[in-house]
Chain A
């Protein structure tokens, strides 16, 4: 063996050893971390998972896997509730309605993140870049306190879906002007400026029987002017009625005032009664299913997509289907604007109940998982990903994103998004949420189906809430 050969052999051996060593070292450092997540099965969560799989590179260098359980919406609460209360400790992240915060925080399931925010200024900066209204709704318990829990997954607000072909029709415009002395709202800006009285006029004006003229042609079926949620299930009337109450100067039981804040005298105040009366007065201009107590957000959306109504108020989250010609007969005839408001001292007041969902961390998530989870949330709320999310049909509550001029070009309703954020409030976050909601929904349903008047309805709700919350120590 020559010296050269010996040298070659030595170099090869050294190279092999170095490769093994460095390779071995990198394997020893990169750990595999799995974050398990419970989410409702719909596009915003599917997009999140897709982005994660395609783009997420953990800054830690670890191999992070996002294991997502896509649960159908109707089963979502039941499955999450069962998972949490059974103690299986399966999920690290859970998409949660903001109203569930109190029940699951008090149960010891949702993790408070203040320590994580304090320990990581970048993380705090990221979360604080979210608009204050959605931040308070999605993250705080008690509501509007300094205790933070959640991060926006899909923020949402109510907007007005309109039929441009009907609303902008010249004949209809002329007749509306003649009847009401006002222009029939047709553009997004005109819809933004609408009050509930204008909305009522649209409802009254567009009640057409089958065969009557509608936008220059005989109506193929009975046609109606307006629709919004008026269903007994889940929160499918409270979310709309709360907006009326706040706009007209009333209030729901305000947990931020607990324990001094009362339910009786507030929930059934004259302003609240007038607001509920206003809400009920619009039902007669809606498709007849509104009289049955089953006009939920999905039914009004279906009626709109099937071309049965001129205007519908619904969550942005349901909007994608109306743009898709496969699921919508009106996909090419749409205009979007803000939810109607109430004129107070010359100003169009637009208070509304916020929709959408945050996602939260659970208390059994290990420190290692928590570290990766924080990095993931920072990535999720980063401008680039939020822009991509919005461009794919999501919404962003991150200020720098929704204020970007590009934002309004992503979807036709985005023009109504940012101006409405300041007007968003949330319903109760207290653990008694479901009891409050089910009783209120039952009572609203009695009013919607014509079994009792607004005053009796709100008196019953106020009494129930007063008793329940007093027993719970939330009212003195």
Chain B
């Protein structure tokens, strides 16, 4: 193996040896920087190698890959590593514990019930919020696919919630649902003569969160579906009309194939986002009435309680579930599209 600045294989081997020695012999604060320097050396070897081989395409994307590595991949790997240690960000000690954190978050008497409860709630919110958004977004798209007076202005109005900050929406709904100051209780009380408090039960609190989330994100689904709807060639409908095909059949045989891909895309995006639901829960219930989600629970564990490693383990379990679910979904979607 020749010694040359473009020999990336040698750079990797030397880097691994130096890193291992640094980890064993030096304190963590020093070995961290040595490993960083080694990673930079290996990256430089790749760049020199690519330059000498005139592989300019690779060189052009190298800065983007470097940024992605520093900002995204490295923290991801770092936190994965942390999940195998006993480490709290407000303590100076760190020690390797293998899979203990994973076992703890899933089975420990103190931690596990809250984790499982938050996980079940998250699954519930994923199903409810995504269903609500898909249905409302789809119906809005069907409405706005047609031409009618003031359509342009109404479309802007309907899109507004999506552009608002979640905090602004959360505060708005806090007052909207408030039994003393809120219009919802005011109207219901005026009709029923009783005292209506939406957020006092689990059903009410979940409804409140799902409604607020659907209010914010249904326009996103609508936009995607609308893009599909306007791309359907008009002559297909004209031909169907000549053949006296029913509206129902026109929808399933002409419209739906055009919007299916976009609907699936909306479903994928919204499902991933729904798994991360925390902001609205924090603003509306603080997790009360059994509405704690896994993301909010994670904020409390990793941020408030500084249990960094346990938080990382729980995050990776959640990431694993999201990856499995999205891959399953993509597999099914691909099979369907191939079948069609």
A residues contacting B by CB (< 8 A) are: 77-78, 81, 84-85, 103-104, 106-109, 221-222, 231-233, 287-289, 291-294, 303, 306, 308, 431, 434-435, 438, 442, 445, 449-451, 464, 467-468
Of the candidates B200, B287, B303, the one whose C-beta lies within 8 Å of that of A292 is: B200
Q: A292 to B199, Cβ gap below 8 A?
A: yes
Cross-chain contact A438 with B304 (CB below 8 angstroms): yes
Give the residue name and chain of the B residue nearest to A293 (CB).
B288
Of the candidates B178, B185, B199, B304, the one whose C-beta lies within 8 Å of that of A434 is B304
Cβ of B92 to closest chain A Cβ, rounded Å: 6
* B65 CB to nearest chain A CB (Å): 26
Nearest-Cβ distance from residue A244 to partner chain B, whole angstroms: 20
B92/A467 in contact, CB under 8 A: no
Partner of B303 from A78, A431, A464 at Cβ < 8 Å: A78
In the assembled complex, the CB of A108 is this many whole angstroms from the nearest CB of chain B, namely 6
| Interchain Cβ contacts under 8 Å between A and B, 11 examples | A77-B304, A103-B306, A107-B90, A289-B179, A293-B285, A294-B288, A434-B300, A434-B305, A438-B304, A442-B287, A449-B200
Q: A222-B180, A292-B199 are in contact. Are A103 and B90 (CB under 8 A)?
A: yes
Min distance, Cβ A280 to any Cβ of chain B, angstroms: 14
Are B289 and A438 in touch, CB under 8 angstroms?
no
- Which residues of B are interface residues toward A (Cβ below 8 A)? 89-92, 109-110, 114, 174, 178-181, 185, 195, 197, 199-200, 205, 284-290, 300, 303-306
A467 touches B304 (CB 8 A): no
In the bound complex, residues from chain A placing their C-beta under 8 Å from that of B303 are 78, 81
Residues of B within 8 A of A106 (CB): 90-91
**How far, in Å, is B21 (CB) from chain A's closest CB?**
25
CB-based contact A308/B288 at 8 Å = no
- B residues within 8 A CB of A103? 90, 306
CA distance A266 to B192 in the complex (A): 46
CA gap between A319 and B286 in the complex, in Å: 25
User: How many pairs of residues, A versus B, come closer than 8 Å at their CB atoms?
Assistant: 87
Are the CB atoms of A294 and B286 closer together than 8 Å? yes
Which residues from chain A contact B205 at a C-beta distance below 8 Å? 292
Could you say which residues of chain A place their CB within 8 Å of the CB of B284?
294
Q: A292-B288, A438-B300, A438-B304 are in contact. Are A303 and B180 (CB under 8 A)?
A: yes
In the assembled complex, which residues on chain B have CB atoms less than 8 Å from the CB atom of A108? 92
Query: In the complex, A434 Cα to B89 Cα: how many Å?
Result: 14
Complex contact B200–A104 (CB within 8 A): no
Q: Given contacts A77-B304, A449-B288, are A291 and B200 in contact (CB under 8 A)?
A: yes
Chain B residues near A438 (CB, 8 Å)? 300, 304-305
Does B304 lie within 8 Å of A232, measured CB to CB?
A: no
Q: Which residue of A lies closest to B308 (CB)?
A: A85
Could you say which residues of chain B place their CB within 8 Å of the CB of A451? 290
CA distance A473 to B284 in the complex (A): 37
Q: Give every chain A residue within 8 A of B174 (Cβ-Cβ).
A: 294
Residues of the A chain whose Cβ atoms lie less than 8 Å from the Cβ of B195: 288
Closest 5 CB pairs of A and B: A293-B288, A288-B179, A107-B90, A85-B89, A292-B199
Bound-state Cα–Cα, A306 to B178, Å = 14
Measured between beta carbons, the chain B residues less than 8 angstroms from A308 are 180
Question: Could you tell me the distance between the alpha carbons of A297 and B200 in the complex, rounded to whole angstroms?
Answer: 18
A293 engages B286 (CB within 8 Å): yes
Complex Cα distance, B198 from A291, in Å, reads 10
Chain A residue, CB-CB nearest to B300: A438
Which residues on A sit within 8 Å (CB–CB) of B288?
A: 232, 292-294, 445, 449
Residues in B with CB closer than 8 Å to A232 are: 285-288
Of A81, A233, A445, the contact of B306 (CB 8 Å cutoff): A81
Residue numbers in B under 8 Å from A467 (CB-CB): 109-110
Residues in A whose Cβ lies below 8 Å from that of B290: 451
Asked whether A468 lies within 8 Å of B180 as measured between CB atoms, the reply is no
Query: Complex formed: what's the CA distance from A292 to B185 in Å?
Result: 13
Q: What is the minimal beta-carbon distance from A21 to any residue of chain B, in angstroms?
A: 47
User: Within the assembled complex, what's the spacing in Å between the Cα atoms of A445 and B199?
Assistant: 13
Bound state CA distance, A409 and B115, in angstroms? 52
